[in-house]
Every structure is written in C-alpha cells, then in structure tokens.
Amino acid sequence: MSTPLILLILAIIAIVCYVVGTRHALAIAGGVSSRLHSRPGYYGTFVAICAVLPAAIILAAWLVVSPFYVNSTILGGFPEDVKARSTAEQGLAFGMVSSLARGMDVLTLEEIDSIGADAVALRGALGAKGVPLAGDPEPYMVESAGDLNAMNKISNRLMTALVLIVALIGAGFSYTRISHRFRARNRVEKVILGTLVVASSIAIITTIGIVLSMLTEAGHFFGRVPAWEFFFGTVWDPRFAAAGASASEGQFGLIPLLLGTLYIGLVAMLVAVPVGLFSAIYMSEYASPRLRSVAKPLLEVLAGIPTIVYGFFALTTVGPFLRDLSSSINGIATGDFANFIQAQSVLTAGFVMGIMLIPYVSSLSDDIITAVPRALRDGSLGLGATKSETIKKVVMPAALPGVVGALLMTASRAIGETMIVVLAAGVAARMQLNPFEPMTTVTVKIVSQLTGDLEFTSPQTLVAFALGITLFVITLCLNIYALFIVRKYREQYE
Amino acid sequence: MNMLSEAAVEKALDKKMNEVAYKMIGKDVSVYYGEKRALFDVNLNVRENTVTALIGPSGCGKSTFLRTLNRMNDTIEGCRVTGKITLDTDDIYDKEIDVVELRARVGMVFQKPNPFPKSIYENIAYGPRIHGLARGKAEMDAIVEASLQRAGLWAEVKDRLHEGGTGLSGGQQQRLCIARAVAVSPEVILMDEPCSALDPIATAKVEELIHELRANYTIVIVTHSMQQAARVSQRTAMFHLGQLVEENDTDKMFTNPDDQRTQDYIMGRFG
C-alpha cells in the first residue's frame, strides 16, 4: 500500500476511534457525562491518540530506515568486480539500478518477457515509456533491479501490516481502559504538551545544527589559513581557486570587510535613528488615534518590503541621483562637472538601508514609549510642564534603556543585511573613509565567494563560512546585549 | 443691652460666615466623555486655606470634578467641559488662560505615587526648573530643602538626595510627590485619593502632612475613606451619579447631614 493511503486509513481509524471512544465513555457513565472524570470527548481523543500515534511513529521510522537496509543489501549483491570499483562508480551503478527498478514497474509482464535478457532493448523500451536511462544497463543490473523491486514490495507489505496491527492494538487497549475514574483529560494534555515541546525544540535544534555546520566548514578553512591572518589581515585578495594550484594563495583579511560593514551600518543608523525616533515620538504622543490607526500600519508596510526591492531602488534611483547631484554641485562650485559621489557608494547603500530600518526603529520605539506609564506623564503635566517638556525630560529618559535595546537590535539587522549592499555598495574591499566611494561588506563577500562554479574544498569558498560565523557571533552578541537591556528596563515598571 | 450685643455678635458671625473667602468657584460644571455625561451642573465652591474632601461611591464623578480644577481632563481624548470655573477671578477655561501656568498654580498629587525615574533631588527640582523659579544652584538647593521640609521628608532623605526616587517606600514616594507639587509654590493642591496605595502608618503621615499644608495652601482631596474625610477636612462634598448631593461642614456632614442620600452613604447603606 502506498504511504498516502496508509495515512488516510490511519486518519479514518482516528475518527472512528474518537467516535467509538466517546460513545463508550458515555455509555459507561449511563449517559450522564458528569459521572466521568473527564468530558467524553477526551476519552475519544485518548483512544484516537493511542491508536494513531504509535502507528504513525512506526510508519515514519520505517520509511526512514528501510531504504538504508534495502539499498545496502542490493549493493552487497553486486558482482565482485563491480564492488571492487570506487564508491562513486558504485553509486552510479546503483542509480542505474533504481531507475531500472522504477522502469520495470511501468512495463507490463508481456513486455518484460519479450525483451528477455536483452539489456539494450530494455533501454529502448523504457525510453519509449518515458523512463530515460543514463547508459546501457549491464545484465547484473536488471537482476538487481528485480531484487530491489521484490525487497521493496516485501518491506512495504510488512510495514503496512505492522502499522495497521499496532493501530488496532492501540485502539483496543485504550478502549478497554475507559472507566469512570480513568483520567483521560490528563493523558491527552500530556500528549499536547509533548507536541509543543517537540515543536519548540525543532527551531533550537536547527539553530544548533546551522552553527555546527558553519563551525565545521570554518574549521576546515582555519586548517588552511591561519586564524590571525584572517582576523587581523588588512588585505582581502582571495584570488581564484585554480584547479591544481596550491591551496592558500590568496589573502583573506577580514578587516576591510568588517570596516565596510560597520561604516555602511553607521551611515544607515545615522539616517534611521533620528527619523525613526522622531516618527515614533509623533506617533505615540501627538498623533490622533485616527491618524495613528492609518499611519502606523502604513509605516510598518515598509518593513514588509523585500530588501532586494530596496536594492533596486538604490541601484536605479538613489545611486544615479546622488552621482548626478554631486556632478552638478561640483560643476557649480568649480566648473568641473566630474562627479565626486560614485553611483555605488557607502552613502548610497547606507542611505537606502537607513530607509529600510526606519520602520524597525519607529515601531519598536513606539511600543516602548507607549509603555511608559501614564502616571509619569500625568505627574509631569500636573506640575505645569508642557507636552514637549514632558516628553523630553520624563518620557524619553524613562524609555531610554528600552530604546537603546531597540537600536541595538536594529544595528544587528544593519550588519546582517545583504541584498541592499550587494546591489548598492560595490564589491571593492578597500580600507578608506570617504563615504562617496564604494566599499564592501562581509555579507557581499559571502555571496560572491559562494556563487558561480566552485570547488567546495578550496579556501576561496570555505572563507565564506568563516565570514558567516564571524557575522553570526557579532549579531548574536548585539542581540543578547539588547535583550539584556530591554529586560532590565521592563523590571523598572513591574 | 446684653441681648442686643449678643444679637450683634451673632450677626457679625453670620456676616463673617457669608464673607468666606472662596479660592475656586465652580458654576454649572458639566463634563462629557464623548457621548457620556459624567457630571451634571455641579456648583461647588472651594474655600481658601481649607481642606475640602470630595466623597461618594465609585464612578460618582468626584475625581472627574477634581481634574476639571486644573484642566487635567484636557489630556483625556474626547473629554469636554461646560460651565465656569474660576481661580480667584480668572476663568480657568478662558481661551486667554495658559493651561501650563494654571497647573503651576493648581498642583496635583495622584492616586498612585508616581515619582519620575530620577534622583530625589531631580524629582523636586523638575517643576521649579521648567518654570524658571530658581536662579543658580544655591536657590534650587534651598527650594528642594524647603519643599522636602514641608512634606516632612527632609530628615529621612537628606543624606541620599541623589539616589533614585523610585527606591523610596510607597509612603515616602507619595510624600515626595507632594513635595514635588509644593516645590512650584502652587496656590491650590489637588489630591486624588493620595493614600489609597499606602499602608496605615504611611497614611497617617500623609494625613498629618495635609493638616500642616492647610496653613499655606488650599487643598481639595478625593477620598474613598469616610474616616479620612472626617479626619483631614473642614468641608465635605458628597457626589452621587455625577451630581453634587450636598456640601457642608465636615462635622455637620458626618453627624447630621441635610440629605438622606448622604446619611445612607455615610451609614454604609450603599457605595
């Protein structure tokens, strides 16, 4: 039976179990549900869970494990001369076998008979049915394919039987346990709790997995390039990974990239912080509820725009505008119409990134400013302070720690931002302080080192993981510090 | 002759009674929150250097009336006030009146102690600073000390003026808020259930303070506790369902009120 069909049957079993369990519980209580420990529905749910959950777990485990077993058996059955070949070739052979096996399901029995042992004819016949083969199959492959199909069939039957039997046993067992005092509700809640725990651990385990995989790859990199050359090197010149060339030819200095990242982030924050903060103050203190209900979502829509769109905006509008503007200014001032702002520059990328960050700053700060207790405002107004005095001297100081936390979180976004800088900052890894010249960032270099045809064992690509883990650590530290500050601030009013 | 002079004395007393100095006069004051009417044509006068207590069951409008006296209702969205309220001779709802200036003359102490998250010194100095009451640090120090003295807090905090005001106990915080209000030299101090968040000992201290402040300030206090009204006030006004039921000397109010509803409320039959 196919897996979807089994799942469907399990679902039907679950529904039946629920109905039967509920009825049985009611019948035991003589139709008076208050005599039961739990509501009748809980008994039904309990029976359904007992029937389906173990069966589903077995199904999942079987689906994961059985291919390994079947495949290794088939590989073991290959002729000795095939086994003597390299693992890659054995893999290819196995690929052919599984395509064949799939193809033989498509053919009818008569067709197989008529082809017989003619491997070349088999390829033609399969091609006609829409199953392409990479090469002419060897005779042992046809045999192995037959074995594979047979084993899969047996495995599938065993699995179906086992799953259905377990489901029925679970249903029967739990059905007999239903009684007045049986605490079905507590059991069901335990299962729900388990589901929640599993769901929340998935995210955490994935994060750990990501970090570990980056660490391993970064470890490979540091095996070839000394860590101090990476962290303190001032030249970024990775060269190309030429096949056969000795591995660590380029120079992998992090400093120019880090400087570019921080510089562009700084420009972005210079744009985003004042604009975002002022708009937050306006929204939380002055705007009428009607205006606020329109303007705030509108501002937050900005946060939903994909950053690549900001990248376009920077590339096609802001960059050329700044370039032309600089050339006009230069022309008016000196008569020489040379542009002193490049189209791709720190300024362009930082400015557009700043626009992107405005909604984060304003939305987070708005929440924090609104959370300052009304009593404080009243206290200040009651002393005869004006609204702006109250905001400046009472509300903002009270909100400051939270706002700083929000700004740190925003800064970590600025550092990790990729698409805008890829399009607007340029790719030149330089150490300089002129905001009108292009610079590049850590994220841009990760993208450029990992795109295109590349070999995954050269330091030229592995450096991307070292960059990634560096970036990860920086933003992680910023976020943790921000959370720490925000939490400390929350305690003040509790 | 004797009789005559007695009558004259009585007449003089009467006259004195009639010549009571009113600090604030409320005439036909009504308040609306949006469509809902919260106060109905209240006529209530506040006597100078007197503690006036506003009592009544929850939601009767006593806090609303209090907040009309320094226009704190202005900060509430959709709130509208009609009628006339004067402070001395100034109509406080007149367009010419600067609400900021008004609130400096009519200070307010709130239900929950709300010190700013600043030092004790800065809490007191806040008001004088925004109104420019002090020239130089020495004068500010003097204002801070005098205000804390008046609030009976000086001895307790004089060694830690530059520590946070939020670190004080609840009762101390409330007295700090009173000191803060006193620091801008108001003429009237409004208190909105100032002791409802305090324990009995802190309450006693604040009540004692109210007694002393009466010499220099006119005080209007909203309270839920009738014992408190009886202890601290000379005049009491009873509100019910947005209307002023009765306003009288506190002694008379609690022994022989004119209105049956006041009697019932004081006896605890409702509220």
Q: Between β-strands B106-109 and B188-192, what pairing exists: parallel, antiparallel or unpaired?
A: parallel
Q: Which of B100, B112, B177 sits opposite A384 (nearest CB)?
A: B100
* Contacting residues of B for A291, CB less than 8 Å apart: none
Write down the ipTM of this complex. 0.83
Are B24 and B188 a contacting pair, CB within 8 Å? yes
Give the chain B residue whose CA is nearest to the CA of A388.
Answer: B130
Q: In Å, how far is A489's CA from the nearest CA of chain B? A: 11
Whether residue A494 is predicted with pLDDT greater than 50 in this model: the reply is: no
Helix axes A396-416, A255-281, angle to 10 degrees: 140
* A381 Cβ under 8 Å from any chain B Cβ: yes
Max mean pLDDT among A109-118, A330-339, B104-113 falls in B104-113
pLDDT tens digit sequence for A169-220:
999 999 888 888 888 888 899 999 999 999 999 999 998 999 999 899 899 8
Query: Is the pTM of the predicted complex or chain greater than 0.90?
Result: no
Are B37 and B220 a contacting pair, CB within 8 Å? no
Strand partners, A237: A251
* B107 Cβ under 8 Å from any chain A Cβ: yes
* Contacting residues of B for A394, CB less than 8 Å apart: 116, 126
* Contacting residues of A for B127, CB less than 8 Å apart: 383-385
Transcribe B111-132 into DSSP letters.
SS----SSBHHHHHHHHHHHTT
Helix axes A346-371, A289-304, angle to 10 degrees: 140
- Residue to substitute from B75, B99, B182, interface A, most A β-carbons within 10 A: B75
* B179 Cβ under 8 Å from any chain A Cβ: no
Select from 2.30.110.10, 3.20.20.105, 2.60.40.10, 1.10.3720.10 the CATH code of A237-489.
Answer: 1.10.3720.10
pLDDT at A59: 93
Between CA A433 and CA B88 the distance in angstroms is: 66
Separation of CA A40 from chain center: 41
What residue spans define the domains of chain A?
3-182, 237-489
CB contact under 8 A, B102 and A384: yes
* Contacting residues of B for A380, CB less than 8 Å apart: 116, 126
Give the chain A residue whose CA is nearest to the CA of B130.
Answer: A385
Between CA B218 and CA B66 the distance in angstroms is: 13
C-alpha separations of A38 from A20, A63, A174, A178 in Å: 16, 36, 15, 11
* A219 Cβ under 8 Å from any chain B Cβ: no
Between CA A475 and CA A467 the distance in angstroms is: 12
Give me Rg for the CA atoms of chain B: 20
* A394 Cβ under 8 Å from any chain B Cβ: yes
Between CA A213 and CA A459 the distance in angstroms is: 16
Q: Which of B75, B116, B131 sits opposite A376 (nearest CB)?
A: B116
CB contact under 8 A, B114 and A394: no
* A383 Cβ under 8 Å from any chain B Cβ: yes
* A382 Cβ under 8 Å from any chain B Cβ: yes
For chain B, 271 residues long, the average pLDDT of each consecutive 10-residue run is 57 59 91 90 92 90 91 86 90 88 91 90 92 90 92 89 88 91 92 88 88 91 90 92 90 89 83 62
End-to-end alpha-carbon separation of chain B, Å?
52
Between CA B238 and CA B240 the distance in angstroms is: 7
Between CA A395 and CA A388 the distance in angstroms is: 10
Whether residue A493 is predicted with pLDDT greater than 70 in this model: the reply is: no
Separation of CA A435 from chain center: 33
Amino acid at site A118: D
